[in-house]
Amino acid sequence: MTFDPFGDFETRGYLRNVENEKNPEIVRRLQHTAFTLGLDAAFRHLAGRKHLEYSDVLRTHQTLFDAFYPWAGQDRVQTTPGLIVKKGDVIFAAPHEIRRAINFALSNGQNKAFMTANPGEVMGYLAFGHPFLDGNGRAIMTVHATMAQRAGFSIDWSQTNKDDYLRALTQELDRPGKGILDAYLKQFIRGPVAYEKLAEGIAQAPGIDGGDVATNEVLGEASEPSVKAQYEAVVAKRKSAEDE
């Protein structure tokens, strides 16, 4: 199934990309090219920010994907405010909850002690926020790497396994704050690296080339009773895990 939240895939291609391209493999290549060309600039911007804010997450995505997506840097509140989005069994934050999840991650991720102890929890909240229609993994990994560097460590993404990482991330999203993704990522914690080396490290992460293009799905309109019920169940389950 093609991810088509705008409803105009046939006329404007996958997510209204600048080439109006529909072929998933070509989309993947063009998207990855935009990402790699923008990565150094994204890190330069983040390095110059004393305190990271939600606007910096938006700016990061814009820098990484503006060459391919006209809407790059616009969150789902702007692009698809009425839709709930999922991937597989994972339902992401409703548009009105995106900023709260990202700000929680940014606040704790910029607390050195918390970030050092809970790098996976921080990543989990960034992932749950899922601010954008596409490019979330790469954008949040860039922001996460910056916060890790400031906390005095790095994650050797080149040694991670894509399937194992996604499995741990999915479990973290289901039961946040239980140390599931923390335990996985801590195997790969290394010393801090210079900002100019951060892009190289991210580029070596397995699966960073976007091999999962078009796996997002539209769950439905947030106002639909069945969709609302499914989303509320996710929120209740997450809250229960947080309160344990």
Please write the tens of the pLDDT for every residue from 143-192: 999 999 999 999 999 999 999 999 999 999 999 999 999 999 999 999 99
**What are the tokens at 163?**
């399937």
| Tens-place pLDDT, residues 95-136 | 999 999 999 999 999 999 999 999 999 999 999 999 999 999
**Which is higher by pLDDT, 243 or 102?**
102
Strand, helix or coil for residue 134: coil
pLDDT for the residue 213: 46
- Predicted local confidence at residue 80, as pLDDT: 98
Q: Over the range 23-60, which residues count as b (16 or more CB within 10 Å of their CB) and which as e?
A: eeeebbebbbebbbebbeebbebbeeeeebebebbbbb
Among candidates 78, 34, 73, 37, which has minimal Cα distance to 55? 73
The CATH fold of domain 9-243: Fic-like fold (1.10.3290)
Tokens representing 209 are 């080339």
Say what the pLDDT of residue 196 is.
83
